[in-house]
Amino acid sequence: MAKSRGSVFFCNECGFESAKWLGQCPSCKVWNSMEEMKFGSEAAKPGNTIKKMLPRAVCIDDIEADENVRYTSGLSELDRVLGGGIVAGSVVLIGGDPGIGKSTILLQVCRNLAATGGRILYISGEESLKQIKLRTKRIGDIKGELKFLCETDTAVIENVILSEQPQVVVIDSIQTMYKPDVSSSSGSITQVRECTSQLMRMAKSNSIAVFLVGHVTKEGQIAGPRVLEHMVDSVLYFEGERFASYRILRGVKNRFGSTNEIGVFEMYNDGLKEVANPSEYMLSGRPEGASGAAVACLMEGSRPILLETQALVTPTLFGMPRRTSVGTDVNRVNLLMAVIEKRCRLQMSRYDAYINIAGGMKMNEPALDLPIVMALVSSLKDRSIDDDTVIFGEVGLAGEVRAVNMAQLRIKEAKKLGFKTCILPAGLLNKVSGLSDMNLIGVRSIREAIDLIK
């Protein structure tokens, strides 16, 4: 006779599943991380067997598909990251550090949608209704059909959603939700996965857009198994220093658009404001005539952004030179310094090097190589680069400067901000010549680029 009840053990760190309890998880090697989840099952009996009609496979021409219904959030930067707006029936997961602005931006989106006639439901498992009202006073008056609910039971939440029939639902946060029939505690791997699965089925069957707020770990990843990110349609991350004013919304997964777009916001007392021109914002306060500074034009998706690359090269006081990088990969900086020493005969091994991407952004695009090289040599020689010069290009181990993509957009962005000279790979000159009246200087190697620093 089959057992009426059974259990499965899950690792609350990585989601590994096992039929029996284990002291150490075989996947993530964490001790005492296995939790039991009990479930019910009925023995199969011939008399109780219900024949289920098998689904029929169809051809692509037989599938009826309408255009995705999208709602405008009222924030063009968020719509850009989502691929053009909020898709009806989609499930979006938003993660970020505590206090970064996740709840603030979602509350602003709810206010904008309600003001245009949308039916919105904001469900909070962390704040009371009084706390939410105090927070809404900061972002302005709310008009329209925007309703709030404080609840953590997904069964109650589902009944409320089905009765209210909203167009957009916000769950803040998914780690506070729980299913009564699951024995593990709120925030565990099992609860997070089961609650997300239930909300996702409800969203798809009723064409309701659902936003899920997710906590993050010390490493900055969404708390819970990676399967949570695979289940949802879009995953967005809020980046930026907690005590800095700017915020960057980056899409790492999007089934309805590109994942290469970013949205730039600035935090004020009354909420988040969009930054329409990130390049001008990042270059504000740039020193004039300072050595060790080079302006780079980098791409984030289809958007060009101008950033200042700063370098400080000083003689080392110890046998091992110190290399520090903020905003880019320090290993890449070490590689570029080795190329400079080998190909240009500059003794970089005798100096400490400090690299900083002004504005606090984190960039790893290959086009940042040449600006870093120019900034390092500028600081080493204590000679400044012209303030109206913008630089981009990839550097190889032989010291060659390689071509990068979207050169036309980079040059147009630089011209719009008043730059007059552009140092770029020589292989791109025939593609961009005639597109702009800027002074285009093509270089084939870092030696040619360094000779321009006078």
Binding residues for ATP are: 96-103
User: What single-letter DSSP state applies at residue 7?
Assistant: E
Helices (H), 183-287: 189-206, 227-231, 278-282
Cα 294 to Cα 278: distance, rounded to the nearest angstrom:
17
Nearest to 94 by CA among 192, 189, 198, 216: 216
Task: Report which secondary-structure segment, H or E, holds 109.
Answer: helix 102-115
Based on its alpha-carbon atoms, the radius of gyration of the chain, rounded to whole angstroms, reads: 27
User: Rounded CA gap, 74 and 168, in Å?
Assistant: 14
Contact of 187 with 175, CB cutoff 8 Å: yes
State the Cα–Cα distance between residues 60 and 50, nearest whole angstrom: 31
* CA–CA dist 435, 429 (Å, integer): 10
- Do residues 169 and 209 make contact, with C-beta atoms less than 8 angstroms apart? yes
User: In sequence order, what E strands does 101-220 have?
Assistant: 119-124, 145-150, 168-172, 209-214
Beta bridge partners of 246: 266
Torsion of Cα atoms, 193 then 197 then 200 then 201, to 10°: 180
Q: How far apart are CA 282 and CA 276, in angstroms?
A: 12
The pair phi, psi for residue 47, each rounded to 5°, is -75, -25
Q: Is the separation of the CB atoms in 383 and 318 below 8 Å? A: no
Specify binding-site residues: 96-103
Amino acid at 40: G
Could you tell me if 233 and 213 are in contact, meaning their C-beta atoms sit under 8 angstroms apart? no
- Report the alpha-carbon distance of residue 104 to residue 348 in Å, rounded: 47
